[in-house]
Amino acid sequence: HARQYSVATPTRDASSFAFAFDIDGVLLRSSAPLPGAAAALTYLHKHNIPFILLTNGGGKHESERVAELSKKLGVPLSEENFVQSHTPFKQLVEGTETAEALKDKTILVTGGDGDKCRKVAEMYGFKNVVTPGDILMHYPDIWPFNQIFSDYYKSTTRPLPRPVDIQNLQNSLKFDAIFVFNDPRDWALDNQIILDLLLSKQGYLGTYSEKNGDSTLPNNGWQQDGQPKLYFSNPDLFWATSYHLPRLGQGGFQACLQGVWEATTGGAELKRTIIGKPHYETYKYGERVLNKYRAQLLGFGDQEEAITPLKRVFMIGDNPESDIRGANQFNSPRGTEWTSVLIKTGVYRAGTVPAYTPKVIVDDVFAAVKWSLEQEG
Ligand code: G3P
Ligand code: MG
């Protein structure tokens, strides 16, 4: 029998609270909608209760992903209420108060199918985006075992941005930053290329910095010679897919690279910037998107200051390490309370004690919305 998804209409002003939904393990399992997901979002949409999707997933441009999700979940979604793992990287095109503008710099981007993430980075505004596959096609012997993948790389790579001679520093290619936008597909090649750049002379491909390993330098001498900055977009070690057990996520690749770096350098720290849930930057970015979207949804246009402040966000997630930990630890710059709600349809295994304690544990996303609305009277 079809389960009845119904809940009392909220009696109080719906504008004082909102929702943030994780995707994998909450709304979808791999690409199939989970029970109650469509009903939950449709209910909120019908009652004009603001929500955003806040996912550590990615690999496509936001416009492409929301079109797919709207169709799958039967509810209108837009880029205005959708934040993926790499969405906050948009801030690095023009630069922020703490990070240089990378718009015109040469960056390495890896992750996702083929060179989809290159195209996402270019749609964000990055002008010189190179993939590990581009480098492999230019220097096949940079990794000896990739001939088996050459068909794949042939169809998804581009020539390097200019003629390059890695034997001659002046004509080599300098990389200023390395981005992991989504889960890498070829961990071997990506590990090798990223390690090369981290050991290089100021990011010049094909060089090795004599400074590396110079124990008179801090961090026992490694990564001291102007190496490119390394950015990860998603720390998830595991995530929920169509397989019945959690699968390694981008955090698995990060752990692998860290292992290779530490083995190479005798234990030096791998300096990197990590965004994605549970990190503060992603919750701060998500809260900003949610507030902007809420003002528009509730008829205030861009007059956010005119609307009653958002008092509470219910964060509905399946992964204690990212969704629950992030919401619990997020110290909102706007003083908004983030309430974590853990559900049993994803990474978290029912009956076990979660590593980070949610406000409540319920069966699925509809039960999570029902519980949250009951908290709001
Ligand atoms: O790659 C996606 C996975 O890490 C988890 O995504 O939607 O559960 O944050 P999500
Ligand atoms: Mg999830």
- Model pLDDT for residues 228-239, shown as the tens digit of each residue: 999 999 999 999
**Model pLDDT, residue 11:** 39
Check residues 288 and 217 and name the one with the higher pLDDT: 288
d(CA 110, CA 108) in angstroms, rounded, equals 7
Does the pLDDT of residue 9 top 70, yes or no? no
**Model pLDDT, residue 2:** 44
Neighbours of 272 (CB within 10 A): 17
**Model pLDDT, residue 5:** 58
- Percent of the chain exceeding pLDDT 70 equals 96
**Pocket flag, ligand 1, residue 315 (CB < 6 Å):** no
In the chain, what is the straight-line distance between the N-terminal and C-terminal CA atoms, in Å? 29
d(CA 295, CA 293) in angstroms, rounded, equals 6
Q: How confident is the model at residue 7 (pLDDT cuts 50, 70, 90)?
A: low
**Model pLDDT, residue 4:** 54
Structure tokens at 20: 């943030």
Three-state secondary structure call for residue 368: helix
Question: How close is the Cα of 265 to the center of ligand 1, in Å?
Answer: 31
**Pocket flag, ligand 1, residue 239 (CB < 6 Å):** yes
Three-state secondary structure call for residue 49: coil
**Pocket flag, ligand 1, residue 134 (CB < 6 Å):** no
- Using left for φ > 0, alpha for ψ between -120 and 50, and beta otherwise, residue 227 falls in beta
Task: Give ∠ CA 121-64-21 in degrees, rounded to 5.
Answer: 95
Tell me, yes or no, if the pTM score tops 0.90. yes
Neighbours of 245 (CB within 10 A): 9
d(CA 110, CA 179) in angstroms, rounded, equals 6
The mean per-residue pLDDT over the stretch 180-193 comes to 97
Task: Please give the number of the atom of ligand 1 that sits closest to the Cα of 23.
Answer: 7
Cis peptide before 278 (omega within 30 of 0): yes
Residues shown for the chain: 377
* Average pLDDT over all residues of the chain: 93
For ligand 1, mutation pick of 21, 22, 324, 345 (most atoms within 8 Å of CB): 22
- HSE-CB at 235 with a 13 A cutoff on CA atoms is 18
Neighbours of 147 (CB within 10 A): 11
Q: How confident is the model at residue 12 (pLDDT cuts 50, 70, 90)?
A: very low
Check residues 163 and 344 and name the one with the higher pLDDT: 344
Question: Which secondary structure element, helix H or strand E, spans residue 338, and what is its range?
Answer: strand 337-343
d(CA 29, CA 235) in angstroms, rounded, equals 19
Does the pLDDT of residue 198 top 90, yes or no? yes
